[in-house]
Structure 1
Amino acid sequence: MNSRWSRGTRRGLVLGGMMGAVGLLPLASQAQSPANVIFLLDNSESMQDFSTYLPEAFTPGYSPTSGTTAGYPGYNDPNIGHFINTGCSDPALVAEMSWFDKDSPDPEKNGSVVYDSDPDLSSPTFAPAQFYHSRGRRIAWAAEELPYSLSPDFTGLSSSSDAQYVCRQVWDFNSKYKDTPIWNECISCLQTKGWWRGPLVPAAINDKSGKLGPPRANDEPPLPQEAKRKWVVSGRILNLRPPKFVVARKALKDVIQTASHVRMGVATFGGDRGWFDPPWMLEDVSPGCSASSPINETQLNRAHLANVVNDTRFRNNERSTGEALFGLGGYFSSQVTDGQWTSWFSQPVGTPYWGWPGLPSGGTYDSPYGGQAGSGYGKASDEWLKAPYSSYDPIYQTYVTLPGQRFERGGDYRSICSETQANAVIVVTGGEPRSDNSVPITKMMSLLVAQGAQHPNGQPLTFDPINPEFNPNSGGVNYCDQFEKSPGVLATQADCDYTEYNWPHGLAAGNKNFMDDVAFFLSHSDLRGDLPGTQRVRTYVVGYGSSHPMLQSIALAGQGSFFRADDTTSLRNALLQSLSAIGAATP
C-alpha cells in the first residue's frame, strides 16, 4: 500500500517528524534510561469501521426501485431488506470498486496476501478463498447484525468458500429465493468479481433481533447509509481494506515486536461505569526495574504483549480518551508508596460549582437524549478511585468485571523506576473523544494554578469555575485555535466545544471538553512524591484517519506530538516516530 503522511501543524510549530526511514531511537538517547511507555489503544466500536466505506454509488435508473416478487430486483423484503441497486455490474458501482481486481497479478490489487497471519490469532485475517458477510461500513458483527462473520469477542471469523451457501445466508435460507434472479446475481458476482452488493435494510433499523440491526441508543448519532447495506465480499477485499481495528492491532504488534530500549505496557478504554470510566490496564509496563538499567530485552515478554493486543474487544460505546489518560496518571503515580493520588482525588475534590463534575455542588443538565439525570455528575464517594465492578453483559450473556482505578504493582514492577526516565502515553485513536468528560477538572486545575503552571506561550494557566455557563473567562486548556481543521483553514476554540451526542460536557465556552486539560495536568504535574525532580507523563497522539483539532490540542497540552496516519505504513511509522521522540525527551 502507498503511504500517506499528514501532520497537524500549529502556527510556528510542526508537531510530528520527517517522513522516510525511521530509526527507533536516536543513538544519543541509548545512553539514557529506557522510557516508560503505555500504548493506549482505542477500543471503541467505531474502530470496527473500514477506513473507506464500501460504495453506495449507483447509476440512476440502472436497477428497478420496486418489485413484487421475492428474489427479483426491487423487491422489499421486510425481514431481509430492499433489493435495490444490488449486484456487481452497475457502471458507477464498478468504477468505485476498481481498486480491486481478483484476477490481477499484482498482490496490491488482488488481495492475495493475508493481512495479518499471526499464528496466535484464532483464524487468519483474512483468508483469500473465503467469503465474508459485511455491511458497507464494517464486517457484520455477530452482536448486532445477521448474517455475520465477526464473532462477538473478536476472536474468530465465520466464512465460507461456497458461493451458493453464503448467498443463501443473506436471505436466511428462504426457499422463495432459490433459482431467482437475485440468487443467480449473487452467485455470479462472487464467482466473477469476488464481491456482491446486497440488499439495503430499512431506514428504521432499531431491530433488536439483529437481522436488520445494529440497534442504536438515543444518545448515539445516526448511522451512515453504508451501514444499512449488506455485502458479501472475498477475503481478498478485506486484505486490501481491512477494518480500522485490524490495521491498528497489527501495526501496534509490529512495533511491540521491534521496539528496543523501552519499557512497554498496553491499555484500552474501560467499560461504561456510569460517569468516570477507568481504563483497562491490559499489561503492566515491563520489564521489571531490575532488568531495566541497562535494559534486558529478554525480560520483555513481547509475545504476551502482542497477545493482549490480539484479545482486545473493540466494542466500547464511548471514545473516552481523557478519562483513560486520567486513570493512567494514577497508574504512573506514587500512590502505593505515599498515597499521593488519593490525597488529590478522594471526594470531595475541592469546591466545584454547578456545571462541573464532582462534590459537593457539582452537577449538570439532564441528558438531552433521555434516560439519565445530570444532578449526580461525578458525585459517587469513590468516583475517581473506583474499584473493579461486576456487571451483566447482554452481548456475552454473563457477568463481566469492569476495571477500577489501576495503580502500579510496586516493588520491581513500579511504573517509573528512576527519576532519569521519560514517561509517556501513546494514544492510537480513530477520532475525537466522545462522552469523555467525567474527570475531576476543578481539582486538577486548582493544583496546577497553585503551582504556577504556564501555557506553551509562557502565559499563566487560569481557571475560574464560578458560574461557567455565563463566565466568559473560565480558563483551562483549549489549543484548538492553533491547528487546521481542514487544509488552509484554522480551527477555533469552539471547534473543540463540540456537544452533539457528547453528553455530559462542560458549560463554559472555550472549555466544554476536558481531554486536553487532563493531558496538560499529566505533563505539568509531579506525579511521584517518592522520586526527585518532576515525574511528568507526556501524551502523544496518533490520529488514525483523523486530524481533529481536539486530538492535536491533547498532544500539545501533553507536551507530546500529534501524528496523522491513514494506512498501515504511516500508522506503524507514527508509532515509531512517537517512540523516537519519547526516547529523546527529558523526564
Structure 2
Amino acid sequence: MHDDSGIGKVFWKRLPGQRLGLTVGIMAAGVSGLFPVASLAEGSPPSNVMFLVDNNGAMQEYSEYLPEAFTPGFYPTPEDPAPGDLGGDGPAGHNINTGCTDPALVAAMSWFDKDSSDPAKNGSVSIDADSTLGSKFFEPDRFYHSRGRRLAWQTDEYPFSVSSDFNSLNSHGDALTACYTVTNWKDAYFNSPMMDECMTCLTTRGWWRGPMVSAQTSPGLDGPKPNPGEAPLPPEAFRKWVVSGRVLNVRPPKFVVARKALKDVIAQASNVRIGLATLGRDQGWFDPPELLMGMSPTCDKSTPTVDETALDRAGLMRAVNQIQFRNLDRNVGESLFGLGGYFSSQMLDNQWGNWFAQPIDPGWGWPGCCDGGTYDNPYTGQFGATWAAAPDEWLKAPYIDDERGIYLPGQPWEAAEGDDRSICFDNQRTAVVVVTGGTPRYEDNSVPITKMMELLIAQGAAHPDESPVRFNPADPEHNPSVGGINYCDQAVKYPPASGTYTKADCDYTDYNWPAGLGVGNKNFMDDVAFFLSHMDLRGDRPGHEPVQTYVVGYGTDSPMLQSIAKAGEGGFFRAQSVSELRDSLTVIVDTVSVP
C-alpha cells in the first residue's frame, strides 16, 4: 500500500497553549531535507524528546515482501527430477517457481533495475555506510542471502546474511559462491540446472528467487521456526533468495531504515534534549522498556539553551546501532507506561510507587475475570489467573535471569540526585516519539488500567469533545460499555478513499494474549498514552509535567497507533521510505520544540 501525498499526515496535533481538539488534517506533503529546529521563545526551557524504537522481530522484515508472483504453467514439472533440476526437491529445498525470467515475477520486481542510471532504482548508493557499524548496509556489488520476508538472520536461517546482533553482514563477492552456499555445497547440486540458473540470474538481473523450504530440506538449511503464540509465518518466510546489495539499497529492511533515519535526525537536531529507549524484553507480565540512553545533555548543560557540545550525539548514534531487533512482543503500551515512570518524580517523592504499588484494588487493576486475572493463553496454555500479581509488578528492579543467563534492566528511573534528571524545569515540554513498523500486540496489556482510570477520573479528565472520561471495570465480559480510551473510529485508512476504521478494529485479540474482556477497550495502549498526556507526573514541581506521545508508523496505518497518537495529544505520521521517516521525525522534533 502506498501513499503519494508525501510523508503522510499529522492527524492529531495539540497547538501550543490549547487542549487537543478534533482531527487536524495537517498535510505534510512536499517536505524534503532536514529542517532546523525552531528557536525557542526567550526564557522557555528546551524540550525533551525520548525516541522509543520498535525492536520487535518484525522490524527485520521488508516493508514489502519479495514477490511470490508466478505465471501458471511457466515452470517445468518433470516427472522424476533430481535435487538440482528445475522442479526438483532436495536438501536445499524445492526448486519450484525459481529463477528470474517468469514474466509475472519480472513484472513484480520491476521496481529494481541494476542497469538503470537512477540510483533510486539501481541501488548503487549504500543506504547506511556508517563506519561504526561492522559492515556497510549494503555494498552494491556483493550478494546477500535472504528469505522473501527478510534478510536471512544468523539465529534462525542458513545461509544467513545478518549477524545475530544486527551490526554486521555476511556477503559474497561472486555469483558462484553465493549460489552454491544456498546448497551448502552439497554434491547433488554441482553443475546442476538450478545452479546455472542462479548464476545467470545474479549476473543479468542482480537477484535470483531460489528454492522453497520443504519437508526434504536438510536441518540447518530449513527454518525459520514459528514462535509460540504468534501467527503462522507467511509462505514468503520459507522462500530462499540471493540478492545483490543494490536490491537491498532500493528496498532495505525496516530496521535499516529506522536506524538510518534516527541517526540523521540526531545528527541535525539542536536546542533539544534527546534520549533513546527500546521496547522491553520479557520480564514476566509487565515488561518495562529498556533505557539505552537517558536524556542528554544534563540539566546543567541545558540552560538557558542547550550546550550543543554536551549533547552526546555520538553516544546516541552508537546506541541506535546497538539495538537488537529480536523482541517477541511489540509492547508499545507497556513501554510507554514505563517511560512515564522514568519521567515521574519517583526518586524524589515516590510518585510512581504511591500510584502503582501492589496490591491495587480492585484486583490487580485488570478489568478481566477471576479477580484481576485473565483467561489462559489459548495458544500456549500459559496460566492467566495470576496476571500481574508480583508485589513489584510496576516497580521492578534490575536483576539477572540465571535461567536465561541475561541481565534484565527493570523499570527505568531518573537519577536520584545531581543534574542527570529526566525533567529539568517547570512546565518543560516532554514527548515520547514511537518509531514502529506495526500494530502493538503480544502481551502488551500488563498495565494497571483500573488505577490509571481511577486517577484520571478523580481529576476530571475529559475527551477532546469535552465529555468526561468514564470507566467501569466490573464484570467487563458482560458490560456493553466499560469506557476507557478508544479513538480508533477516528483513524484514517490509506488511501483515504479506502474506507474507515471502527472502535472494534482496536479490540483485536488474535495472537494478542492477554487482552481485556470489555467491548470497546480490550487493548490498553491508547489508555496509557492518554494517562501520560493528562496527568502531572511530578509532585516535586509546581508546574504541570505530562508527556505527549507521537507515533511514526513505518509502512503501517494501524488504527491503534493512530489512537495512541491522539490519546497522547501528539500526532501520527506514516512513512514509506528512509527520507519520509527522517522527515517525519524531524517535523516532530521541530513541533515539540515550539513552546
Residue 13 of structure 1: how far off its partner (Å) = 1.9
- Equivalents in 2 of 1:517, 1:295: separation in Å? 33
Match of 2:409 in 1: 403
Residue 23 of structure 1: how far off its partner (Å) = 3.2
The CA deviation string for residues 355-394 of structure 1, in whole angstroms up to 9 with x for no partner, is: 5379x9210110110230111111111111112232368x
Residue 104 of structure 1: how far off its partner (Å) = 2.1
**In the alignment, is the contact (CA less than 8 A) between 1:127 and 1:235 conserved in 2?**
yes
Match of 1:419 in 2: 426
Residue 353 of structure 1: how far off its partner (Å) = 7.3
- Equivalents in 2 of 1:31, 1:118: separation in Å? 37
Match of 1:75 in 2: 88
Match of 1:169 in 2: 181
**In the alignment, is the contact (CA less than 8 A) between 2:366 and 2:448 conserved in 1?**
no
- Equivalents in 2 of 1:187, 1:197: separation in Å? 11
**Paired letter, 2:450:** T
**Paired letter, 1:5:** I
Residue 340 of structure 1: how far off its partner (Å) = 0.7
Q: In the alignment, is residue 52 of structure 1 matched against residue 64 of structure 2?
A: yes
Counterpart among 508, 514, 520 of residue 498 in structure 1: 508
Counterpart among 490, 493, 499 of residue 485 in structure 1: 493
Counterpart among 51, 74, 93 of residue 39 in structure 1: 51
- Equivalents in 2 of 1:15, 1:145: separation in Å? 44
Q: Which runs of 5 or more residues in structure 2 are unaligned?
A: 13-20
**In the alignment, is the contact (CA less than 8 A) between 1:110 and 1:236 conserved in 2?**
yes
Match of 2:469 in 1: 461
Match of 2:546 in 1: 536
| 1:247 to 1:433, Cα distance in 2 relative to 1, 3 A | same
**In the alignment, is the contact (CA less than 8 A) between 2:146 and 2:161 conserved in 1?**
yes
| 1:9 to 1:529, Cα distance in 2 relative to 1, 3 A | closer
| 1:203 to 1:335, Cα distance in 2 relative to 1, 3 A | farther
Aligned length: 577
| 1:211 to 1:376, Cα distance in 2 relative to 1, 3 A | farther
Q: In the alignment, is residue 234 of structure 1 matched against residue 236 of structure 2?
A: no
Match of 1:521 in 2: 531
**Paired letter, 1:433:** P
The CA deviation string for residues 207-232 of structure 1, in whole angstroms up to 9 with x for no partner, is: 9x552111112311111221111000
Residue 107 of structure 1: how far off its partner (Å) = 1.4
- Equivalents in 1 of 2:312, 2:174: separation in Å? 40
Q: Could you tell me the TM-score, scaled by structure 2's length? A: 0.93
Matches for 1:289-438 after TM superposition, within 5 Å: 289-293=299-303, 294-352=305-363, 356=367, 361-391=371-401, 399-410=405-416, 411-435=418-442, 436-438=444-446
For residue 385 of structure 1, give the secondary structure of its aligned residue in structure 2: coil
Q: In the alignment, is residue 188 of structure 1 matched against residue 200 of structure 2?
A: yes
The CA deviation string for residues 161-185 of structure 1, in whole angstroms up to 9 with x for no partner, is: 1211111111111011101111111
**Range with bigger deviation, 398-407 or 108-117:** 398-407
- Equivalents in 2 of 1:354, 1:344: separation in Å? 12
**In the alignment, is the contact (CA less than 8 A) between 2:40 and 2:593 conserved in 1?**
no
**In the alignment, is the contact (CA less than 8 A) between 1:3 and 1:567 conserved in 2?**
no
- Equivalents in 2 of 1:268, 1:568: separation in Å? 19
Residue 354 of structure 1: how far off its partner (Å) = 8.8
Residue 12 of structure 1: how far off its partner (Å) = 5.1
**In the alignment, is the contact (CA less than 8 A) between 2:39 and 2:594 conserved in 1?**
no
- Equivalents in 2 of 1:98, 1:562: separation in Å? 31
The CA deviation string for residues 102-153 of structure 1, in whole angstroms up to 9 with x for no partner, is: 2222212211111101111111110112100000111000100111111111
Residue 7 of structure 1: how far off its partner (Å) = 2.2
For residue 291 of structure 2, give the secondary structure of its aligned residue in structure 1: strand
| 1:222 to 1:8, Cα distance in 2 relative to 1, 3 A | farther
Match of 1:510 in 2: 520
**In the alignment, is the contact (CA less than 8 A) between 2:93 and 2:216 conserved in 1?**
no
Residue 60 of structure 1: how far off its partner (Å) = 0.9
Q: In the alignment, is residue 102 of structure 1 matched against residue 114 of structure 2?
A: yes
**Range with bigger deviation, 21-30 or 565-574:** 21-30
Residue 203 of structure 1: how far off its partner (Å) = 7.8
Matches for 1:210-249 after TM superposition, within 5 Å: 210-249=220-259
Residue 495 of structure 1: how far off its partner (Å) = 0.5
**Paired letter, 1:376:** T
- Equivalents in 1 of 2:118, 2:198: separation in Å? 26
- Equivalents in 1 of 2:432, 2:215: separation in Å? 41
- Equivalents in 1 of 2:215, 2:394: separation in Å? 41
- Equivalents in 1 of 2:506, 2:258: separation in Å? 25
Matches for 1:244-255 after TM superposition, within 5 Å: 244-255=254-265
Residue 491 of structure 1: how far off its partner (Å) = 1.2
**In the alignment, is the contact (CA less than 8 A) between 1:357 and 1:439 conserved in 2?**
no
**Paired letter, 1:454:** A
**In the alignment, is the contact (CA less than 8 A) between 1:8 and 1:547 conserved in 2?**
no
Match of 1:5 in 2: 7
| 1:578 to 1:346, Cα distance in 2 relative to 1, 3 A | same
| 1:210 to 1:503, Cα distance in 2 relative to 1, 3 A | farther
**Range with bigger deviation, 240-249 or 12-21:** 12-21
| 1:366 to 1:80, Cα distance in 2 relative to 1, 3 A | same
Matches for 1:121-136 after TM superposition, within 5 Å: 121-136=133-148
For residue 222 of structure 1, give the secondary structure of its aligned residue in structure 2: coil
Match of 2:277 in 1: 267
The CA deviation string for residues 504-547 of structure 1, in whole angstroms up to 9 with x for no partner, is: 00000000000000000001111000011211000001111111
The CA deviation string for residues 28-71 of structure 1, in whole angstroms up to 9 with x for no partner, is: 54752110110000000000001111111111111124543121
**In the alignment, is the contact (CA less than 8 A) between 2:8 and 2:28 conserved in 1?**
no
**In the alignment, is the contact (CA less than 8 A) between 1:15 and 1:563 conserved in 2?**
no
Residue 584 of structure 1: how far off its partner (Å) = 2.0
**In the alignment, is the contact (CA less than 8 A) between 2:365 and 2:448 conserved in 1?**
no
- Equivalents in 2 of 1:204, 1:274: separation in Å? 38
- Equivalents in 2 of 1:118, 1:30: separation in Å? 37
- Equivalents in 2 of 1:417, 1:369: separation in Å? 46
- Equivalents in 2 of 1:392, 1:434: separation in Å? 27
Residue 97 of structure 1: how far off its partner (Å) = 1.3
| 1:451 to 1:420, Cα distance in 2 relative to 1, 3 A | closer
**Paired letter, 2:176:** Q
- Equivalents in 2 of 1:32, 1:93: separation in Å? 57
Match of 2:449 in 1: 441
Runs of 4+ with deviation above 6 angstroms: none
- Equivalents in 1 of 2:447, 2:347: separation in Å? 21
